[in-house]
């Protein structure tokens, strides 16, 4: 089962863990601990296998995932965590999602419905929904048949942990260097650290025909979505059911009032007129947004840039704007344009993550 449209992947898994553990049911959290080669997913990708055998999320499909699910169901029966090692050769190149000439390590982490694990899942879900960055820690001890998971923890940006964890302060300086997931030594044990990044927020200025599929697709791929327009009948929850927020403003000349724009903010400008696009772009360029994109023809863009340059905006700053917006796929319909826009958002988000 995949996450619903309004929920990102890590929030979905936290919610599943919370529901299962609160119901007194164990589950196995399947995590990609390490990999080499080309795969559909990255290190740190997770899925869950519940006590009733249902699967939530995906680690990339293929024979590897199928084998991991089968073994996870066995772990549910015996309660013993396991690390699976896969050496995948060129013989597997025709298998969908397999690594060609690479290797992978998959952790099958048994979560019993203990009071501590229930508290962990609740706080994990709360941390994701707060929109803040944090770390999910999995304590590992031993190897092979002697593998144990002594416990789990959360570490917040201020260094505090949900539960006491002796020695964790020794690895804390290394945490900021982790892009997704890493396994670090902790005395004579190890700790798997999953960096749970703050969600990127898409601020969509304009609620017209292109904005509707853009907001839908952006939510589908894990962006928080805020839609902003000066028309009540357009910027509505009914029109944008996947948006986290819809805002009706007095005019676009004051579009950024009460907005907290930072490097995790992505700005998409798709208003109904050139003047409004220019007004929003001019304000956007005064922010630290991690992405700014404006729908336009090259002729319209050049006219807007010339106006802004005359107002003192530097050429280097204008060159950072993605306009015409989106990946060039030759699309014409609102839906096709939305695909090109969101493809570019994903591309930039991935570059920032690297």
Q: What is the pLDDT of residues 306-342, one digit of tens each?
A: 999 999 999 999 999 999 999 999 988 999 999 999 9
CB 255 within 8 A of CB 276: no
Cα–Cα distance for residue pair 262/299, rounded to 1 Å? 29
CA 193 to CA 146: how far, in whole Å?
A: 21
Confidence bin at 354 (pLDDT 50/70/90): low
Q: Tell me the two tokens of residue 279.
A: 């007004």
**What is residue 38's predicted lDDT score, i.e. its pLDDT?**
62
CB contact set of 258 (below 8 Å; sequence gap of 6+): none
What band does 11 get if pLDDT is binned at 50, 70 and 90?
confident
Can you tell me the distance from the alpha carbon of 203 to that of 160, in angstroms, rounded to the nearest whole number? 31
Q: What backbone phi and psi angles, to 5 degrees, belong to 19? A: -65, -45
Q: Give me the pLDDT at residue 129, please.
A: 82
Structure tokens at 229: 């327009």
The pLDDT confidence band at residue 112, using thresholds 50, 70 and 90, is: very high
Per-residue confidence band for 88, with pLDDT thresholds at 50, 70 and 90: low
Tokens of 218: 């952006």
What is residue 63's predicted lDDT score, i.e. its pLDDT? 84
Indicate if the pLDDT at residue 94 is higher than 70.
no
Q: Is the pLDDT of residue 97 over 50?
A: no
All domains of the chain, ordered by start, with CATH?
Answer: 9-196 (no CATH), 201-353 (3.40.50.720)
Mean pLDDT of the region 194-213: 93
If DSSP codes are grouped into helix, strand and coil, which group holds residue 157? coil
Closest C-alpha among 305, 318, 319, 234 to residue 272:
234
Distance CA 121, CA 125 (A): 6
The sheet with strand 201-205 has its strands ordered as 245-248, 224-229, 201-205, 265-269, 291-294
Q: Who wins on pLDDT, 293 or 186? A: 293
Answer whether residue 92 shows pLDDT above 50.
Answer: no
- Mean predicted confidence (pLDDT) in 195-215: 94
- Does pLDDT of 98 surpass 80? no
Task: Give residue 39's pLDDT band: very low, low, confident or very high (50, 70, 90).
Answer: low
List, for residues 45-73, the tens digit of each pLDDT value: 999 999 999 999 998 877 889 999 999 99
| pLDDT for residue 175 | 83
- Other beta carbons within 10 angstroms of residue 312's beta carbon come to 6
**Contact by Cβ (8 Å): 284, 292:** yes
pTM across the whole model: 0.75
Torsion of CA 168, 154, 109, 69, to 10 degrees: -140
Region 113-138 average pLDDT: 92
């Amino acid at each position: 089962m995949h996450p619903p449209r309004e929920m990102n992947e890590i929030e979905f898994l936290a919610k599943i863990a919370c529901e299962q553990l609160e119901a007194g049911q164990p589950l196995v959290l399947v995590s990609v601990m390490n990999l080499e080669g080309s795969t559909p997913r990255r290190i740190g990708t997770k899925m869950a296998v519940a006590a009733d055998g249902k699967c939530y999320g995906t680690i990339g499909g293929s024979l590897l995932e199928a084998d991991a699910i089968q073994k996870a169901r066995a772990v549910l029966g015996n309660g013993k965590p396991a690390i699976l090692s896969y050496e995948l050769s060129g013989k597997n190149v025709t298998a969908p999602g397999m690594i060609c000439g690479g290797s992978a390590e998959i952790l099958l982490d048994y979560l019993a419905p203990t009071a501590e694990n229930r508290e962990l899942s609740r706080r994990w879900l709360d941390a994701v929904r707060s929109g803040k960055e944090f770390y999910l820690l999995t304590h590992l001890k031993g190897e092979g048949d002697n593998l144990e998971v002594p416990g789990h923890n959360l570490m917040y940006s201020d260094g505090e942990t949900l539960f006491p964890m002796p020695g964790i302060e020794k690895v804390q300086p290394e945490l900021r260097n982790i892009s997704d997931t890493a396994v670090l030594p902790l005395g004579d044990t190890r700790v798997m650290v999953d960096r749970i990044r703050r969600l990127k927020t898409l601020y969509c200025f304009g609620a017209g025909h292109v904005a509707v599929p853009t907001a839908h697709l952006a939510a589908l791929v894990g962006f928080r979505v805020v839609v902003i327009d000066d028309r009540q009948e357009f910027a509505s929850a009914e029109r944008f059911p996947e948006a986290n927020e819809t805002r009706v403003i007095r005019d676009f000349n004051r579009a950024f009032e009460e907005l907290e724009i930072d490097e995790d903010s992505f700005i998409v400008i798709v208003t109904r007129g050139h003047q409004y696009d220019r007004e929003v772009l001019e304000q956007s360029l005064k922010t630290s947004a991690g992405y700014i994109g404006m729908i336009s023809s090259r002729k319209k863009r050049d006219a807007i840039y010339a106006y802004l340059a005359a107002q003192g905006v530097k050429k280097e700053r204008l060159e950072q704007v993605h306009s015409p917006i989106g990946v060039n796929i030759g699309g014409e319909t609102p839906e096709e344009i939305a695909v090109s826009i969101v493809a570019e958002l994903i591309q930039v988000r991935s570059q920032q993550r690297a």
